[in-house]
Amino acid sequence: MLKPVALLPIILLSCTFTNMYSQNEGNTVIGPNQLLFPGWSVKTNVLYDATTTFNIGAEMRLSDYLTLDMSVNCNPWTFSDNRKFKHVLVQPELRYWIYEPFNGHFLGVNLLYMHYNAGNIPFGSLKHNRYQGDAFSVGFSYGYQWILSRHWSLEATLGLGYMYLDYNRYDCETCGSKTGEGHKNYFGPTKAGVSLIYVIR
């Protein structure tokens, strides 16, 4: 399973993108792009927060039009009557910004990996079964980011794509017996977010 700590080198590497300088009359000054474009940002998806899912994301600038976004999500909870949607999810996304990074419209292409353990939820066969397995996805997204202040922004995004899920099926009891296994192909929403962002400049 992918571990969140494995993302630390990517976040640290992004610091190198903030040192942009130009020469003006023999003196070193801050280049205009450093003021317009931050090097990276950290964020949390408040939609996932509302479902008791811990999540954190980081985004780093690659060029004048490209950024790399990475989010990690974890839901460790088991509720009353053994209701659960436990999962660990990692979703990297390459983004193309129409105007400039971290401002306005963007288009993205993303991947997803999720390990899940869900059951006794009032939706479809999850009412009477518990499913445990892995999911893999590739998809596209559209989003928009609003600048609120020098260091704070708000982002909304929605993604669609293809997902492959494999699973083992169990009775809903805490230690229910295995009743089957299989896989499922899914086409539809694979990403949704309203994120609060802290921008590093």
- pLDDT tens sequence across 150-178: 999 999 999 999 999 999 999 876 667 88
With bands split at pLDDT 50, 70 and 90, how would you rate the model's confidence at 54? very high
- CA 64 to chain centroid, in Å, comes to 22
| Residue 194: pLDDT over 90 | yes
| Residue 29: pLDDT over 80 | no
Q: What is the pTM of this model?
A: 0.78
Distance (Å, rounded) from C-alpha 105 to C-alpha 53?
26
| pLDDT for position 37 | 53
Q: Taking residues 115-134, what's their average pLDDT?
A: 88
- Amino acid present at 14: S
Distance (Å, rounded) from C-alpha 193 to C-alpha 171?
32
Which residues contact residue 31 at a Cβ distance below 8 angstroms, ignoring those fewer than 6 apart?
20, 21, 22
Distance (Å, rounded) from C-alpha 110 to C-alpha 112?
7
32 Rama class: left (phi>0) / alpha (psi -120 to 50) / beta: alpha
- pLDDT tens sequence across 93-121: 999 999 999 999 999 999 999 999 998 88
Phi, psi values for residue 148, rounded to 5°: -95, -35
- The pLDDT mean for the chain works out to 83
